[in-house]
Structure 1
């Protein structure tokens, strides 16, 4: 039932109105304990810059989101180096970018991003950045409830190794599993180059749904 509703909402649109969202592309992810493990941070940044070039050519809005933790905290201290954007992205910031500071996993929770998107007629958000296993996942899930179509660029989002009382998985496995999970219901997942081609044509990315993903040959 969820899948059919989502498929209807995210079905092919002749001319998606996109915004490119840079999620937490911050220095914190270049160092321990949250260093991106897969894909490599430098490879993710290459793809993010490719997406930025395509967005500029297409004239679509860009949103730059940064996560803020508590002042003096161990990660994302708003006054610390980890809060800052990665230098490659900081060097590309443009006056027209929408800047957002968030304090929750989702880019929409406690921010003015949703009304800003609505005012501009955006119906499709393209997510790049960090992490696949936290803020990308949370944002895509909330996007469904908001009626927004979400795209995730698989080679422009990174993951970390995870180990806790519930189990463990290395970053490659985390990334692969989450891309399949997202594409099964919450987002259209594609490589950056595929997205760039779709953007140049004003075309949607192909999407799937939960039922199709569940019955596909394994």
Structure 2
């Protein structure tokens, strides 16, 4: 099975940065195949001539491994040398609130379909997907080309990375923000 893609569907690769390899800071992650699948998507998009947007999180949180100037701020090898049409930098979860203006760039080119992948599934990928859906884009998340980390919240509640990924799938599809698909259906 394959997912129908527009000839100009943009691949948006979110926060694939070295700082996310710091397990002391982030904790346990899911999906060890995420980077391999991201690489497959980048290769397929490059071969097809479709646009690629790289997104980098420039954290303003003191001590963050994603801080500007930190080694962890740099992109991982799987995307560092990848051809791309736009680099968006941001300080918040959504790539639509970065610089330069992603929405404006996409609309100037008439791009209506986005395929998202990257880190963290339930944070920046999900937030970008929700905003993209709200802005009227046809959003597809390559769910196996994403990963996240176990997370604790208020009142001692915690979810595993796998549970958070499941919640993201339910949130995006049940809420009508985006579709999800495995990488093999997109390449």
The two structures have a TM-score, normalised by structure 2, of: 0.89
| Cα distance in 2 between the residues matched to 1:68 and 1:180 | 28
Q: Do the aligned partners of residues 132 and 44 (structure 1) sit closer, same or farther apart at CA in structure 2, a change above 3 Å counting?
A: same
Equivalent in 46, 50, 56 of residue 56 of structure 1: 46
SS across alignment from 2:26: coil
SS across alignment from 2:87: strand
Equivalent in 111, 115, 132 of residue 126 of structure 1: 115
Structure 1 unaligned runs (5+)? 1-11, 197-218
CA shift at 1:58, angstroms?
Answer: 1.6
Moved over 6 A (4+): none
1:193 matched to 2:184? The reply is yes
User: Aligned-pair RMSD on alpha carbons?
Assistant: 2.0
2:31 corresponds to which residue? Answer: 39
**Contact kept? 1:106, 1:138, Cα under 8 Å:** yes
| Cα distance in 1 between the residues matched to 2:63 and 2:111 | 35
The two structures have a TM-score, normalised by structure 1, of: 0.77
| Cα distance in 1 between the residues matched to 2:12 and 2:28 | 19
| Cα distance in 2 between the residues matched to 1:66 and 1:38 | 21
**Contact kept? 2:13, 2:54, Cα under 8 Å:** yes
| Cα distance in 2 between the residues matched to 1:97 and 1:170 | 35
Structure 2 unaligned runs (5+)? none
1:109 corresponds to which residue? Answer: 97
CA shift at 1:73, angstroms?
Answer: 3.4
2:167 corresponds to which residue? Answer: 177
1:125-160: CA deviation from partner (whole Å, max 9, x where unpaired): 110001111001111111122111111001001011
